[in-house]
Amino acid sequence: MDQDERIEQLKAEAWRLSGGQMRSQGIDNLPKDVAEQFLRRIIAFETGPTTTGFDRLTAAGVPLPPPDEVDDRDIGVILWRVIFGLAHLRVFLGCTNHLSDRELYSALWRTVLREEVTVIPEDVTGAWHVDMPDDSASTNYLTYYADDQDRESWQTDFPDAVLPARQQAPHDRDDDLPRAEDDPPCAEARAWLQARRHPSALAANRFGTTAGALRFVEQLYAEGASCVIVDHIGMLPQDDGEPYADELIVVYPADARRSAIFDLIEREAQPDTVDDEETLVDRGRGSIRLWWD
C-alpha cells in the first residue's frame, strides 16, 4: 500500500470515529508525511485509554480533599497544588478570574476532574485546555472575558440575545496560570529548586545559592503564601543547559496574611523590580511579581 492509499484509509477511519463530523479539507493541503502523522494521532486519541483528572492527580500524590473539609487558610495552597498537578499532566486552565479560590477548587473537584478524558501519550505535544466559564448561556464568558469583537460576533450569530453588561472580573489569577505554550513552562518554586543541580539556580545576585533561594521560598510559604512560582525559566549553556531564573511570582492568600508576606518581601527579597515597576508597592493584585537583575 502506497502513502496515498494509507492516507485515504486513515481519513476514512478518522471520519468513522468522528461519527461523520470530520472535515478533511485542511488535511489535504498538508505535506503527505505530516498529514499521515496527524491522522494517526487523531485515531490514537479517539481510540486511546481514558481516565479522569481526579484519578491521575491522586496517583501522582496530589491531595484532593473535599472542598467542604478545607479551611479557608488552606484553600489557596490546595488549589495551586492542583493547578500545577494538572499542568504536569498537560491540562491547562483558563478564564478563572470570576471564581474565588474556593469556587474554582469546588468546580474542579466536583465536575472538571470527574470527566473521562483520553490520556495524551507522552510523546505527543498536545494539551487539554479547560476554560472555566462553563455555563450554557455563556454568560460568564460574555460578562468577564469576551472582547468587543467576540461580543459583536456573538450578537451577529444570536441577534435576539441580550448580552450581559461587561464587568471586571473580581480576581486576577489567570495571568499567573501555567500556559501550554511556555517552553520551558513556569514551575512551583519549592519543587523546582529542590530538583536543581546548579548551585545558584535562582537570582544568584540576591540569594547567592540555590539553598538560599529555597530558604526564602520556604519563608513565603510559612507566612501563608498560596503558591510561589518560578517564571521565565532559561537555560545556562555554560552549565550544560541547567535551568536558571531571575523571577518569582508570589500568590497571596485571600486574608490578612498578605501584609506579613509583603513585609517579608520588603525585608528579605530586595527585588530590582516589582510588577515591572522599580518601586516596591503593594498594588492590591492577587499576586506580586519579583525580578532580580
Note the maximum CA span of the chain. 70
67 and 147 assigned to the same domain: yes
| For residues 178-196, average pLDDT | 91
The residue type of 245 is A
Q: Does residue 170 lie within any of the structural domains?
A: no
40 and 55 assigned to the same domain: no
- At residue 172, does pLDDT exceed 70? yes
Q: Does residue 172 lie within any of the structural domains?
A: no
| For residues 166-189, average pLDDT | 91
192 and 285 assigned to the same domain: yes
Total tally of structural domains belonging to the chain: 3
Query: 209-254 pLDDT, tens per residue?
Result: 999 999 999 999 999 999 999 999 998 776 677 899 999 999 999 8
189 and 276 assigned to the same domain: yes
146 and 57 assigned to the same domain: yes
The single-letter DSSP state of residue 226 is S
Average pLDDT over the chain reads 89
Q: Does residue 169 lie within any of the structural domains?
A: no
Q: Does residue 193 lie within any of the structural domains?
A: yes
Query: 22-57 pLDDT, tens per residue?
Result: 666 677 778 878 888 888 877 877 777 889 999 999
Range of the domain at 145: 51-157
Residue 5: per-residue pLDDT: 83
Residue 122: per-residue pLDDT: 66
39 and 135 assigned to the same domain: no
Query: Whole-prediction pTM value?
Result: 0.84
Q: Does residue 104 lie within any of the structural domains?
A: yes
**Which among 142, 157, 172 is the end of a domain?**
157
Cell digits of residue 43: 485515531
Q: Does residue 162 lie within any of the structural domains?
A: no
Q: Does residue 217 lie within any of the structural domains?
A: yes
Q: Does residue 165 lie within any of the structural domains?
A: no
186 and 286 assigned to the same domain: yes
92 and 21 assigned to the same domain: no
DSSP, residue by residue, 107-163 = HHHHTGGGSEEEPPPTT----EEEES---TT-HHHHHHT--HHHHHHHHHH-TT--P
Residue 280: per-residue pLDDT: 85
Residue 263: per-residue pLDDT: 94
Query: 96-123 pLDDT, tens per residue?
Result: 999 999 999 999 999 999 998 887 766 6
What percent of the chain has pLDDT above 70?
94
Question: In terms of Cα–Cα distance, which of 112, 293, 39, 52 is closest to 104?
Answer: 112
152 and 187 assigned to the same domain: no
43 and 75 assigned to the same domain: no
188 and 287 assigned to the same domain: yes
The residue type of 276 is D
Residue 135: per-residue pLDDT: 67
- At residue 76, does pLDDT exceed 90? yes
- At residue 207, does pLDDT exceed 80? yes
151 and 60 assigned to the same domain: yes
Query: 128-154 pLDDT, tens per residue?
Result: 889 987 666 688 999 999 999 999 999
Q: Is the dihedral of CA 79, 83, 89, 93 positive or negative?
A: positive
Evaluate the omega torsion of the peptide bond into residue 67 and state whether it is cis, within 30 degrees of 0.
no
